[in-house]
Chains A and B, each alone.
Chain A
Amino acid sequence: MNRFLALFLFPFVVQAEPAPLSHLEKEGRLEIATPLYTATFDQKEGYRLIALKDQQSGKSTSFTKSGLRVTEEGEYREFMNRWFGNPKVHEQYDAAVVATVEKVSGEELTLTLQWEHPVGKIKQVYRFAAGTRQIHSEVNFTITAPVVEFSYLLESPQFGSSDGETTTLYPDETLWSGSSIFGFHHRIPEGKFLYNQRQQNGFGLGATATSGAASIETFLRGKQEGFPSRLGRLSIHSTTTRWNPLPSEVSLRFTLLAGGTPDESFLFSQAMTGEDPPVKIMEVRPEKNLYAPGEEAQTGITLRNRSNKVQNVEIAHELISGIDEVRSLGTQKTTLQPLEQKRLNAPWNAGQRLHGVTFRTRLFLNGKEIDREEEVTSINTFAPQPGQMAILNPAGAAEGSEEGAAELHRQNYITVLEYYCWMPDQLFDLTPDTEEWHPHTESQGAYEGTLTRTYLKTLSQAVDARGIGFYAMLSGFVSLPNIYRYPERMRYTAAGQPHLYNGAIHNGKRYAVGPANFFDRDFVRDWAKEMVASIEEFGWKGCRWDCNFLPNVPSDPLAMDATSDVGAANLQENRWYNFKGEASDQLFPDADQTGAMLLKEWRSVVAERYPDFVYGTNLYSTEEGARRIPNYYKEASNRSLILLEYLLNPNKEAYHTWEKWAYHLTGASQRIRANGGQPAVGYMRGFLPGGVAQALSQYLVFASGVHWAAYVTSSKYSLDDSWKRFRHAMRFSEYFYDPALIALNEGQQQEVTIDGSERILPFRYQRKSKQGRDIVVHLLNRPRQDWIVVHHERPEVRENVRVSIALKEGEKVKRAAVLLPDPYPVGQPLEVTLNGDRAEVVIPRLELLASLVVEMVR
């Protein structure tokens, strides 16, 4: 039966003569039977739904996890000198739930569940009707303590690909595994349906536009992807309740689909979304996060006909660059069958205008615009510049999950993805000979991992297809077997042993690594050639070092801040010996020159074969650090990606307020950008999603000219709204990350003054242009508390923030605009008034971040 036929048959199914509804409580279980299905609830586990059985086929879907889950707000109210912990989660199955069954009529029955958590009271009502598979549910929640969200979950081990048991997600009609343990969220209204093709059973979950839901999460994984079991999950998530006054009443309405066929699922989805507008743009998806200038590009447009009629529509595309430069990309016409979801490809050329762009599609029906959707991508020659940075490691390395993992990062506007801990040896073996291997790096001091060549290559391709640079992590350590194989290559302790950085025994196998004595040109060239071979094998687009070529400092750059200078005490701490017993400071009296020369050599050998390969490194970038190693610093930051790991901890006294952290980040950023590099701070972790601390930290990092580097764990539309801020930073990367933006020094601060709250933290930059100069000011609206890692209330919205800019002789303002992140990144023009030799603009509204751009000409 196809979905169009279902349009005609399904109403008859719905209207079939109803049989009486019944319920039965036995052996701790409550069964509610309708003519179409039986729903079973477990009394011992808070009356959570544990099974749905189809009355006709007799097939049953079981749920190993289900029910309501409440996530308590877990941010510390006071400064604790530590990162946030995990939020508390309150599960329905742990609660003492009281159930009441009531027959409303012969055709309708309700199940009412009531319970309490430490954060409030919950009442949930399920409504069962005789002639439909749809089970409506309403949750009323009296919140008495801070809660960030609550969700309803159905998780079944019968779904997910495994040995031919393919599960398809409807109405998308796609099979896409999750990325290891994370699913994908979709906007509401929506109805999703998981269907096992072989077993011919399924279940659905959906919510309407007025349901109080924010998203529906879909998740699939299976044995085929290397996971120990299959798992299919649908969950409805509430809009955030983080800012609700206490106590407050909130409700969430959603609908379950108890079995049925894929054809019925289209009608289910339609019942959730409604038909206004009849055709909707479901997604505008440029294939890549980063395009090269002039590259032929494609954007996928997904349309869904939500009506029962054939629809002829027209779509028009445009590209918006800079602040508001619009380029038309043409139109397309198409016809959609009733309930059809169709994907079209819109070809376009990236052009030569660099930085972030918005691809916008408008949908016309009978000449009238009925919907529009847009997405941000970027055009650049240097991947670290427009987007943010992320990391992956073998923990999620399951074949089959590569597409999901890559898509998760695309959705978060990542342009650099580092693969951490992947090689059998970081110097001697970047090209493993076997299909499967165990990485042997410093991370094996903590855990053991397994990787396959197929996985790494497939992931590389999936990432590359999305315009994300796939970077290899290198920390320059030699694995234990090669310490024995190449003892001359090691650095020795005063006790005559090779220096071991760390190690452990896992499953009887010993892992240990040590820093190499790689301080000679020939060896450096060999190592670089091994990198070239690895690029050929795995398609790396760059690398990120966690080591350095400086002979007399610790191998791990993070430890460099423990070294004060090349003074005697410090040297003693760091002195090592070569195989012959000669001391490092005697061998390399000028560590800076040696390091710079060797790094240049390594980079040039790789660049000879791959000129666009990006070098990245973790680097201690304080003013004093840069002064200590001027030549090495210059070479390391020369058009590089620089990770500022030493700045990742805003609990440290040196960085623990917004102002202090901004000072250090901006200083490092300016030093790095002077050499064409792009800094990233990371790996940021421990911020709880959706709060002010996370949002402002990200904005602060962008405003400082630094990229956020983190593990990406959440998809678009989830509680973690980092993606929105990453989108804004990409769209206006020109104004956050252009190396030509020079921070105004202390003496120049009065040239740009801000008349507003003292809680506004300004970041002032100027950039020379052909006609004159641009002033860029990022305004960050700080909350009341200065500590970074602490719970913050949303700061008071600032209105009419006046910014005054001193004009130089002969200078005129060409135009001014403010860049705002919500709800979509947008540049709005501002009026400029002259006040003597100063130009003034008023920013009407500042929530968390607003960026002022003033272009001036002579």
Chain B
Amino acid sequence: MRRLFSAISLLLAGFLSVFPQDARGAEIHLDEKFDSFNLEEGQWNLSATPDASQWEAEEGHLKATFFFKPYQGGEISRMLPEVSRGELSFKVRFPTERGYDHFALQVKLGNLHTAFNHVRQHEWQRHLPEERRWTVLSGKIPKGEWTTFRIRFDNEAGVIEYYRDEETTPVHIETDVAVLPVEGSPGLELVFGNYGLSTGNSGVLVHWLDDITFREGTAPSSQPKATQAKGVMIFSGPGAEWLRAKEIAAILQNAEVQEYPILNRLALTPRNQFYPERMPTRLDDHPPSLIILADAPLDGGLPPFLQEQLKGYVEKGATLLILDGLFGGGAAIQTNPLISLLPADLDPGPLLHWPEGVTLEPGDEATAACLANHEAPRLFYARALKAKEGATVHASAQGRPILLSQRYGEGKVIFWSALPCGESAQTLLKWPGWADLFTPLLPNEN
């Protein structure tokens, strides 16, 4: 049976191959602009009663009028060929009405089911059928203005990436997944539907859709920003404000800096719920020169596949700078892939605390030069650790290593273990030598 569907898919693909190719040579199977749109003439199928949803072209867009009709809101659909790598893109302008409070617009591509939910902060969500739950792809989706959504997938790599607007970094990545036809379907069915669970003040929710495209291949539809050799990735956790990562990134002149904030959701019990707001793509290879983890929580904040990706960058020559914070280190780091890169063994016990403060002392000439130019900062908290064999200690306090580095593969790992806690928060925030301290350790590509 499966073979039969594949054959039908091939036939469909053959039929649809009359579609043009884009500038990068990717085959475009669908490019719907809604300048003229007629359900009867086009290849879209309508399955909706007028009291559930209405779909019509208006002023060059698709006007989708949704009514409250739980789980029976109606839909339009069309068949696309099965491809192993592809990209679906569509634009939506969501209604601004109050009372827009639950699932309304849903978008399906084969077995991939996403929908937009306004229960919390108007989120784009993905249904995980095997786990029988929804996961958040992205939050704070704007209303009343056009937003572009893209889904890129590579079944061979087992990756699906979700994008918003023209951003080149995904808001969510899934691994070990594939976009496939649902059982019994000859291809990838594309569905735009009304979940029917939302009501506006007027009882009617008008969604506008446009520019629905589906292309084969994973060539990015918009050019990534980080094309230069000197790309910098900053993963910023809760304490990033006090760790001044952007000032360090600025040492690499003309470098393209991309920040990836790590956010936290509701955690009623003592189990932090971190998640990355964005992640670097796995589908385009743009290794950075410098990666900064600024109090970036590893457990949950940076999923293991991302840590492996970062590890790979370091092996190939990138520099990894870890600025420790209350959330970025400690016991949490011990079980994560990046632990093997650290130039020190971390003590999972309490932080070192110097109530009166201690002075940062140089461990090499470069640090000594920095501290000669800037009065050494006083430190109050640090991670207890032991330098690994072969690691270089660039600075310490009361004999405790504070700034260390070590080669890893073709790259380097730098670790700053003093935490911006207590009075240190203000001391480090204002210390003028901060960027100078790291300059000698960073890749010299200026």
Tell me the A residues contacting B by CB distance below 8 Å: 72, 74, 85-91, 94, 445-446, 480-481, 483-488, 491-505, 510, 512, 554, 556, 559, 562, 573-576, 579-581
Interface centre among A483, A500, A576 (most CB of B within 10 A): A500
Whole-angstrom CA separation of A179 from B331 in the bound complex? 51
Please determine whether B238 and A480 come into contact, CB atoms closer than 8 angstroms. yes
Looking at the complex, which one of B98, B297, B353 makes contact with A497 (CB distance below 8 Å)?
B297
- B1: Cβ under 8 A from any A Cβ: no
Contact in complex: B332, A554 (CB < 8 Å):
no
Contact of B202 with A89 in the complex, beta carbons under 8 Å? yes
User: What CA separation (Å) do A503 and B99 show in the bound complex?
Assistant: 24
Q: Which residues of B contact A499 (CB under 8 A)?
A: 267, 270-272
Complex contacts, B421 vs chain A, CB 8 Å: 484-485, 487
Task: List residues of chain A with CB within 8 A of the CB of B265.
Answer: 502-503
Instruction: Name the CB-closest residue of A to B346.
Output: A496
A86–B422 CB distance below 8 A: no
- In whole angstroms, what is the CA distance A406 to B182 when docked? 59
A499 CA to B326 CA in the complex, in Å? 10
For the complex, give the distance between the alpha carbons of A576 and B272 in Å. Answer: 12
Q: A485-B425, A487-B381, A556-B268 are in contact. List 20 more A-B contacts (CB 8 A).
A: A86-B98, A88-B202, A88-B203, A91-B202, A483-B326, A484-B421, A484-B422, A488-B353, A492-B270, A493-B272, A495-B272, A495-B330, A496-B329, A497-B297, A499-B267, A500-B264, A505-B261, A505-B277, A559-B269, A562-B268
- Chain B residues in 8 Å Cβ range of A91: 202
> Mostly helix, strand, loop or mixed at chain B's interface?
loop
8 contacts between A and B (CB under 8 A): A86-B199, A94-B202, A487-B351, A493-B270, A500-B267, A503-B264, A510-B240, A512-B264
Within 8 Å of chain A (Cβ to Cβ): is B101? yes
Given A487-B351, A494-B331, A579-B351, does the pair A573, B272 have CB atoms closer than 8 Å?
Answer: no
Given A487-B351, A496-B348, verify A501-B263 contact (CB < 8 Å).
Answer: no
Closest B residue to A480 by CB, please name it.
B238
Minimum CB–CB distance for A48 against chain B, Å = 16
Among candidates B241, B242, B263, B351, residue contacting A504 with C-beta atoms closer than 8 Å: B263
Q: A579's closest neighbor in chain B, by CB?
A: B350
> What is the bound-complex CA distance between A483 and B68, given in angstroms?
44
- Distance, CA A501 to CA B238, complexed state (A): 12
Asked whether, in the complex, the Cβ of B270 is within 8 Å of the Cβ of A502, the reply is no
Asked whether A85 lies within 8 Å of B350 as measured between CB atoms, the reply is no
Pairwise interchain contact B270-A576, C-beta atoms closer than 8 A: yes
A85-B199, A497-B326, A579-B350 known; A502-B266 Cβ under 8 A: yes
Given A88-B202, A487-B381, A510-B241, A505-B263 contact (CB < 8 Å): yes
Q: Which interface class (under 10, 10 to 19, 20 to 34, 35 or more) fits B?
A: 35 or more
B260 vs chain A, min Cβ distance (A) = 12
Contacts of B348 in A (CB 8 A): 496
B331 touches A495 (CB 8 A): yes
> Cα distance A491–B269 when bound, in Å?
11
Q: Are A574 and B326 in contact (CB under 8 A)?
A: no
In the complex, what residues of B have CB within 8 A of residue A562's CB? 268
CB-based nearest B residue for A492? B270
Q: A817–B111 Cα gap in the complex (Å)?
A: 68
Residue pairs across A and B with CB atoms within 8 Å: the count is 120
In the complex, chain B residues whose CB is within 8 Å of the CB of A500: 238, 264, 267, 272, 327
Chain A residue nearest to B328 (CB atoms) is: A497
Given contacts A484-B421, A573-B269, contact A495 B332 (CB under 8 A): yes
The proximity string for B residues 267-282 relative to A, scoring 1 for CB distances below 8 Å and 0 otherwise, is: 1111110000100000
Chain B contacts for A484, CB-based, 8 A? 239, 242, 326, 420-422, 425
| Given A85-B199, A446-B121, A495-B272, A512:B331 Cβ within 8 A | no
**A residues within 8 A CB of B330?**
495-497
User: Which chain A positions have C-beta within 8 A of B239?
Assistant: 484
Task: Give 6 nearest A-B pairs by CB, closest first.
Answer: A496-B330, A88-B203, A496-B331, A86-B99, A495-B332, A85-B199
Interface residues of B in 73-115 (CB under 8 A from A): 98-99, 101
Q: Are B269 and A498 in contact (CB under 8 A)?
A: no
A493 and B263 contact, CB distance less than 8 A: no
- Measured between beta carbons, the chain B residues less than 8 angstroms from A505 are 261, 263, 277
Chain A residues closer than 8 Å to B241, beta-carbon distance: 510
Q: Which residues of A contact B203 (CB under 8 A)?
A: 72, 74, 88
In the complex, B349 has a CB within 8 A of chain A: yes
Determine the distance from Cα of A556 to Cα of B101 in the docked complex, in whole angstroms.
25
Given contacts A72-B203, A497-B297, A581-B350, contact A554 B269 (CB under 8 A): yes
CB of B299 within 8 A of chain A? yes
Residue B398 interfacial (CB < 8 Å): no
Could you tell me which B residues sit within 8 Å of A by CB distance?
68, 98-99, 101, 120-121, 199-204, 238-242, 261, 263-272, 277, 297, 299, 326-327, 329-332, 348-351, 353, 381, 419-422, 425
Which residues from chain B contact A493 at a C-beta distance below 8 Å?
270-272
**Nearest chain B CB to A132's CB is how many angstroms away?**
36
A85 neighbours in B (Cβ, 8 Å): 68, 99, 101, 199
B120 / chain A contacts, CB cutoff of 8 Å: 446
Docked complex Cα distance between A580 and B121 (Å) = 37
Could you tell me if A510 and B238 are in contact, using CB atoms closer than 8 angstroms? yes
| B332 and A496 within 8 A (CB) | yes
Alpha-carbon gap, A491 to B268, bound state (A): 12
Q: Check if A554 sits within 8 Å of B268, measured CB to CB.
A: yes
Neighbouring B residues of A502 by C-beta, 8 Å: 264-267
- Residue from A480, A486, A492, A496 within 8 A of B422 (CB atoms): A486
In chain B, what residue has the closest Cβ to A88?
B203
Assembly CA distance A512 to B301 (angstroms): 15
Cα–Cα, bound, A472→B228 (Å): 53
**Do residues A498 and B327 form an inter-chain contact, with CB atoms below 8 A?**
yes
Known A-B contacts A480-B238, A483-B326, A504-B263; the reply to A494 vs B270 at CB < 8 A is yes
Chain B nearest CB from A838 CB (Å) reads: 52
Cα A535 to Cα B229 in complex, Å, equals 58
| Minimum CB distance partner of A560 in chain B | B268
> Which B residues are CB-close (under 8 A) to A94?
202
Q: Chain B nearest CB: distance from A332 CB in Å? A: 48
| B331 lies within 8 A of A574 (CB) | no
Whether B264 lies near A575 (C-beta < 8 A) is no
Q: How far is the CB of A53 from chain B (nearest CB, A)?
A: 31
Q: Are B326 and A498 in contact (CB under 8 A)?
A: yes
How far does the alpha carbon of A651 sit from the alpha carbon of B305 in the complex, in Å?
41
Instruction: Kindly state the separation between the CA atoms of A445 and B139 in the bound complex, as whole angstroms.
Output: 12
Residues of B within 8 A of A581 (CB): 349-350
B270-A491 in contact (CB<8A) = yes
Considering the chains assembled together, what is the distance between the CA atoms of A481 and B268 in angstroms?
Answer: 20
CB-CB nearest in chain B for A509: B241
* Nearest-neighbor residue (CB-CB) of B201 within chain A: A86
Please measure, in the bound complex, the distance between the C-alpha atom of A372 and the C-alpha atom of B372, giving whole angstroms: 87
Residues of B within 8 A of A446 (CB): 120-121
A574 to B238 alpha-carbon distance, docked (Å): 22
| Cα distance, A87 to B329, chains bound together (Å) | 51
Chain B residues, CB < 8 A from A576: 270
Please report the C-alpha to C-alpha distance between residue A510 and residue B419 in the assembled complex, in whole angstroms: 18
In the assembled complex, which residues on chain B have CB atoms less than 8 Å from the CB atom of A579?
Answer: 350-351
Q: Bound complex: CA of A576 vs CA of B268, how far in Å? A: 12
Q: Which chain A residues lie closer than 8 Å to B240 at the CB level?
A: 510
In the complex, A574 Cα to B270 Cα: how many Å?
Answer: 6
Q: Which residues of A contact B331 (CB under 8 A)?
A: 494-496
The CA-CA distance from A72 to B68 in the complex, in Å, is 14
**What is the bound-complex CA distance between A714 and B422, given in angstroms?**
47
List of B residues within 8 angstroms of A72 by Cβ:
203
Return chain A residues, CB-CB under 8 Å to B267.
499-502
Most buried by B among A90, A481, A497, A574: A497
A89 partner residues in chain B, CB cutoff 8 A: 201-202
A497 and B332 form a contact (CB under 8 A): yes
Give the distance in Å from the alpha carbon of A562 to the alpha carbon of B266 in the complex: 15
A495 to B297, CA, bound (A): 10
Write out the residue numbers on chain A whose beta carbons fall within 8 Å of the beta carbon of B99.
Answer: 85-86
Q: Using Cβ atoms and an 8 Å threshold, which residues of chain A touch B272? A: 493, 495, 497, 499-500
Cβ–Cβ contact B299 & A495, under 8 A:
yes
Identify which of A74, A486, A512, A559 contacts B268 (C-beta below 8 A): A559
